[in-house]
Structure 1
Amino acid sequence: MNEPKALTVPRPRAGHGPDLTRTVVPPTVPFFPLTPSEQQVAECLLRGLTPGEISAEVQRSITTTQRRLRFLRYKTLCPTRCPLPVLAHRLLASGKVTAPDTSIPAPALDAGEVQLLRALAEESTRSARACAAGLRLADLAPALDALLHKSGAANTTRLVVLGHSWKLLPTEQDHTRRKGASR
């Protein structure tokens, strides 16, 4: 897989010193391959399981499962405490895992619902999701509930996975063209 090149971005100068630069890496650049246990946890996550359910499925403690989720966040350059739908999106967009086949047909979503799905997948905080979806913060939860009901998804993580299966969410190439990454 071809990895996008790192960009050198100028930073503001402090005083009269030389220009300081920093390296910006696109958000979905894979640094390390997944271990078999991380792959197993990722596949459970894509099925919409919670960390507790993943622990039971892989027969490991919740602490071990949370550690593996932390490593998955690190390897996909997710924020440390990003929600599971964002992690699932990064795993799928980076190509580290593939979206499972689904028998659920794609519902007819309007532009606002697709925008909300994308905000759910890419934004780490409620306020950022609401802003990206063009909603007031108070309207976010009811809009997500309506989208979950319309799509037939059990939870928001599963909704993001279905969004990838339906080709409604961007791939790695689309991310490299974005001007900024959600944090």
Structure 2
Amino acid sequence: MSTDFTRLTPAERRVAEQLVLGLSNTEIAAGLGISPGTVAGHLGSIARRFHLSARPRRAHAVLASGQVDPPPAPGPAPELTTAETMLLQAITAHDETHEIARAAGIADASVGPHVRDLVEKTGAKNATHLVGLGHAWNLLGTGDRYGHFSDRVGAGGVR
């Protein structure tokens, strides 16, 4: 579970529950009846608690810490190639494009197109939702607060 330092407040948890659905700050605000600025403040607090900046990493941290449940999976886990699995893991472990590229074994300029392709293949709304679905499908583990992931794969497996 989480340490006291990383334990979310009830308001942060409500925002994080919407974050893992891939919603924008404006969508989260409308759904919770708060301002987009308040949402941004809560997301900033989550970023500081876990020492992360990218939204997909924040989603992974709150899911991996067990403080937020994954979103409902739209179906069984898709079959991902080894390269796709490496990319999914890279976006949970790194904030910067060049770090994601290095971890996934692709060129920096290819990160965006590859992530978009993976989002489309999985039916996710965006990379943050992709991370949420990765947890729902058990493709991503519930490691420690720093975003380490397990070597488990979902029902679809890895080719």
TM-score of Structure 1 vs Structure 2, range by shorter chain: 0.7 to 0.9
Could you tell me how far 1:78 is from its partner in structure 2? 2.5
What residue identity is the alignment partner of 2:76? P
Tell me which of the two structures has the higher relative contact order, counting C-alpha pairs closer than 8 angstroms and 6 or more residues apart: 2
Name the counterpart of 1:38. Answer: 12
Could you tell me how far 1:149 is from its partner in structure 2? 1.3
Residue deviations 1:50-95 (CA, integer Å, cap 9, x gap) = 11211111121221111111111223x223xx11111000101111
What residue identity is the alignment partner of 1:38? E
Give the structure-1-normalised TM-score: 0.74
Name the counterpart of 1:175. Answer: 148
Q: Kindly tell me: are residues 54 and 94 of structure 1, through their superposed partners in 2, closer, same or farther at Cα, counting changes over 3 Å?
A: same
Confirm or deny: 8 A CA contact 1:151 1:159 kept in the other structure: yes
Confirm or deny: 8 A CA contact 2:101 2:108 kept in the other structure: yes
1:89 equivalenced with 2:56 (yes/no): no
Name the counterpart of 2:82. Answer: 111
1:147 equivalenced with 2:118 (yes/no): yes
Deviant stretches of 4+, over 4 Å: none
What residue identity is the alignment partner of 2:131? V
Answer with 1 or 2: which has the greater Rg: 1
Distance 1:150 1:140 in 2: 15
What residue identity is the alignment partner of 1:175? H
Confirm or deny: 8 A CA contact 2:141 2:149 kept in the other structure: no
Give the structure-2-normalised TM-score: 0.84
Unaligned runs of 5+ in 2: 151-159
**Identity %, equivalent residues:** 39
Could you tell me how far 1:101 is from its partner in structure 2? 2.9
Confirm or deny: 8 A CA contact 1:52 1:62 kept in the other structure: yes
1:69 equivalenced with 2:63 (yes/no): no
Could you tell me how far 1:32 is from its partner in structure 2? 4.7
* Structure ranking higher in strand proportion: 1
Question: What is the aligned-residue RMSD (CA, Å)?
Answer: 2.0
Could you tell me how far 1:33 is from its partner in structure 2? 3.0
- Among 92, 95, 102, the alignment partner of 1:124 is 95
Could you tell me how far 1:120 is from its partner in structure 2? 1.1
Q: Kindly tell me: are residues 168 and 84 of structure 1, through their superposed partners in 2, closer, same or farther at Cα, counting changes over 3 Å?
A: same
Q: Kindly tell me: are residues 116 and 176 of structure 1, through their superposed partners in 2, closer, same or farther at Cα, counting changes over 3 Å?
A: closer
Q: Secondary structure at the match of 1:129?
A: helix
Q: Secondary structure at the match of 2:80?
A: coil
Confirm or deny: 8 A CA contact 1:84 1:157 kept in the other structure: yes
